[in-house]
Chains A and B, each alone.
Chain A
Amino acid sequence: MTARELHWRVGDQEITCRIEESKGSGTFHLAGTTVPFRLLDSSHIEVSGTRHRFFVIHNRDLSTVWLDGRTYFLQRATRSTGTEIKAGTGTGEVRALMPGKLLRLTANTGDIVTEKQMIAIMESMKMESALFAPIAGRVVDVRFKPGDVVEMGDIVMVIETDQGVRHLGT
């Protein structure tokens, strides 16, 4: 079970939501309400027993959500609070985005990396994907080596900024 908090800006409102999730099922907490959900496949979700079709694309802080024929534009709120639990945006943790095999590391402990620098290559479903540094800083921990099998969400690497570890959770 992982839990995380995310902040969205909708109109002039800032909304904080919390997700508790394990293997695509979990609960979503928002403004005092809790809804159970279950991801059915890459474009269908069941929320409180009702099924919805969806697509999401993310571009920097702007997320575009298509849900049941309507499109919503959501702005991620600035992450100033540092209250993320587990992975949140802007942390120094690099997590696997898919389960798969770690093919290659392109940065190692002690290396200075820039934001968005490629730090590792993974393989899953005959496809290669790259992992990128979410922030600029120094690599302080590498938790897997090439050939290792990595689960989705596993922390592959931790990067520290000059100001110390940005990430406060876990």
Chain B
Amino acid sequence: MIRKVLIANRGEIALRISCTLREMGIQTVAVFTEPDEHALHVQSAHEAREISSYLDASEIVRTAKESGADAIHPGYGFLSENAGFSEACEVSGLVFIGPRADTIRAMGDKLESKRVMQQAGIPIVPVWNGSPPRSEFPVLVKAVGGGGGKGMRLVQNVAELQDALASASREASAAFGDHHVFVEKYIRQPRHIEFQILGDAHGNAIHAFERECSIQRRHQKIIEETPSPAVTPELRIQMGSAALAAARAVKYRGAGTVEFIVDPSGKFYFLEMNTRLQVEHPITEMTTGLDLVREQVLIASGEKLNYAQSDLYQTGHALECRIYAEVPEENFRPDTGVIEVFERPSGPGIRLDTGVGRGSVVSYHFDPLLAKLIVWAPSRRAAIDRMKRALEDFVLLGVRNNIEFLRRVISTDDFGSGKLDTTFLDRHGEVFNVPNEVPVEALLVASTVGAVYDRPDRPAGHRLPVQDVWDSGNWRNS
């Protein structure tokens, strides 16, 4: 019985996990480092404890014990795919809300995971431990220790291979503490399509359909959707069976994701398994009605899955846009600052998972993901229309962000007709063009509202600018 959970994370995912835990009557313990002292995830928890780092496994386990928690939810990122952390929890008598340590370890090794899946009869992308035959170029060099584009190189010919191996190895070593790299066949114009899986401790496994995550920048997803416009009912059955075979091959316990790449002819290959809750999990929740965090907690409590595969079906279409504090037009450089205006979009079928609000400080300390805007609608066309409207209603000022860029991307004809692949942004340079004319109305409001005087700089650490647009001074409650 889980009564109290320490959430070993921050930002939107810590808040999202806390929602379900509180719905289940479970007490929540937030952890935070100094820059996050006033963050929203800290305010929403029943208890909050300061730690020195979100990556310090032993300190977090100790904090959980001290607070009387009986379980830890790792969220995504940070320690979520750290087998040692999962083990440390179990040794301390804490339930780790995630898979077993041996699963995390086997799937965290990108070569080992391919070997396991190949044995289970799942198609994998060809890999080589040294130089592949000349005919196989171009190839990708990848890190054994992790993903996210780090330690990854596209190599066009044999001559470039040695340099690419060396530089990828250096980068992998810095990013994952593991310098091992391998060579993989490069699939041209691939789509990235993944399957959500759930497995319990009693050997049952189901999948909750696919998510297409082909719109990426620097190998990181920015727009996800389900169902995938590329997945036919037949392909869904084939890929779903492969995802279930992958889950069974490692006796998967918990919520996980089996990632595939799909080539333009519709052939699919196992890429990797992510042994955690995925950033884009809400689109699955919107179309299946599941609460994946609740499922995770029930599985971790030892319960059997409440659903058989035949109980699950998808309704309508869901899209997610990741709102980042970054400037896409300036090579996606991250931006920092204080959020001065934060006006949420609302209306039917709209969900905003956010870690920030008005007054939040966005610093260089953490990932620039601010929020996720998720919409549901009966059809793909309606979901795109709804997302455009929601992005247009979403006001976030004080920190540069990608809201308008996302709207330009989903407004392209190719996005509308579902012609997606991971090189989409490379082929659509027009989405980086910002119209440079300024309407008279914009000059008018800038000239009229609050522009009479220069506003003095805020003192450092100023957090809650309780201001409105008429004001150009500093305010405090009296």
Of B97-105, B360-368, B445-453, the one contacting chain A is B445-453
Asked if A141 is at the interface of the complex by the 8 Å CB criterion, the answer is no
Give 1 or 0 for each of A144-157: 1 = CB within 8 Å of chain B CB. 00000000110000
Q: Does A158 contact B (CB under 8 A)?
A: no
B478 touches A64 (CB 8 A): no
Minimum CB–CB distance for B220 against chain A, Å: 23
| Residue of A with least CB distance to B436 | A11
Contact (A127, B451) CB under 8 Å given A42-B470, A65-B445, A74-B442: no
Q: Is A59 an interface residue (CB 8 A)?
A: yes
Contact B451 A6 (CB under 8 A): yes
Cα A94 to Cα B442 in complex, Å, equals: 26
In chain B, positions 424-451 with a C-beta closer than 8 Å to chain A are 435-436, 438-451
Given A28-B440, A65-B442, A69-B392, does the pair A95, B475 have CB atoms closer than 8 Å? no
B448 close to A134 (CB less than 8 A): no
Q: Answer whether residue A83 sits at the interface, using C-beta atoms and an 8 A cutoff.
A: no
Residues of B within 8 A of A134 (CB): 453-454
CB <8 Å contact, A72 and B438: yes
A45 contacts across to B, CB distance below 8 A: 441, 444-445, 448
Out of A37, A59, A128, A129, name the residue touching B448 (CB < 8 Å): A37
In the assembled complex, the Cα of A134 lies from the Cα of B455 at a distance in Å of 8
A43 within 8 A of B: yes
Please tell me the number of chain A residues within 8 Å of chain B, measured between CB atoms: 60
A128 touches B475 (CB 8 A): yes
Q: Is the interface of A mostly helix, strand, loop or mixed?
A: strand
The one of A42, A57, A90 in contact with B397, judged by C-beta atoms closer than 8 angstroms, is A57
Measured between alpha carbons, how far is A1 from B47 in the docked complex, in Å?
55
For residue B193, give the distance in angstroms from its CB to the closest CB of chain A.
Answer: 31
Min C-beta distance of A15 to chain B, whole Å: 7
| Distance (whole angstroms) from the CB of A95 to the closest CB of chain B | 6
Tell me the nearest residue of chain B to A31, going by C-beta.
B440
- Asked if B469 is at the interface (CB within 8 A of a chain A CB), the reply is yes
CB <8 Å contact, B443 and A17:
yes
User: What's the nearest-Cβ distance from chain A to residue B433, in Å?
Assistant: 13
Contact of B478 among A47, A95, A123 (CB under 8 A): A123
Q: Does B404 contact A (CB under 8 A)?
A: yes
Q: Are B473 and A28 in contact (CB under 8 A)?
A: no
Residue in contact with A47 in the complex, picked from B343, B435, B444, B475, CB distance below 8 Å? B444
Partner of B470, one of A54, A61, A98: A98
CB–CB A87/B448 < 8 A:
no
| Selected contact of A57 from candidates B392, B398, B440, B443, CB within 8 Å | B398
Residue of A nearest to B471 (CB): A97
A64 to B400, CA, bound (A): 10
Q: Once the chains are docked, how many angstroms separate the CA of A69 from the CA of B391?
A: 8
Partner of A67, one of B340, B439, B453, B456: B439
Whether B341 is near chain A, meaning CB under 8 Å from some CB there, is yes
Q: With contacts A30-B440, A58-B472, A89-B453 known, is A74 near B446, CB below 8 A?
A: yes
Q: Which residues of B contact A6 (CB under 8 A)?
A: 447, 451
Does chain A have a CB within 8 A of B468? yes
CB distance from A97 to the nearest CB of B (A): 6
Indicate if A10 sits at the interface (CB-CB under 8 A).
yes
User: For the complex, what is the distance from the CA of A60 to the CA of B455, rounded to whole Å?
Assistant: 6
Question: Are A70's CB and B404's CB within 8 A?
Answer: yes
Contact A71 B443, beta carbon cutoff 8 Å: no
Nearest CB in chain A to that of B452: its residue: A87
Closest Cβ–Cβ distance, residue B354 to chain A (whole Å):
17
Q: Residues of A contacting B475 with CB < 8 Å?
A: 127-130
Q: Is B478 within 8 A of A66, CB to CB?
A: no
B395 lies within 8 A of chain A by Cβ: yes
Contact with B along A110-134 (1 / 0, CB 8 A): 0000001000000100111111101
Q: Pick the contact of B393: A69, A72, A76, A95 (CB < 8 A).
A: A69
Given A55-B341, A89-B453, A134-B453, verify A39-B473 contact (CB < 8 Å): no
In the complex, the 6 A-B pairs of residues with the closest C-beta atoms, listed nearest first = A69-B392, A116-B456, A128-B478, A63-B446, A72-B442, A65-B442
- List 15 contacting pairs A-B, 8 Å CB cutoff, sorted by A: A10-B443, A15-B443, A17-B444, A28-B444, A35-B440, A42-B468, A55-B397, A55-B469, A66-B341, A67-B439, A67-B445, A69-B391, A69-B392, A69-B407, A134-B454
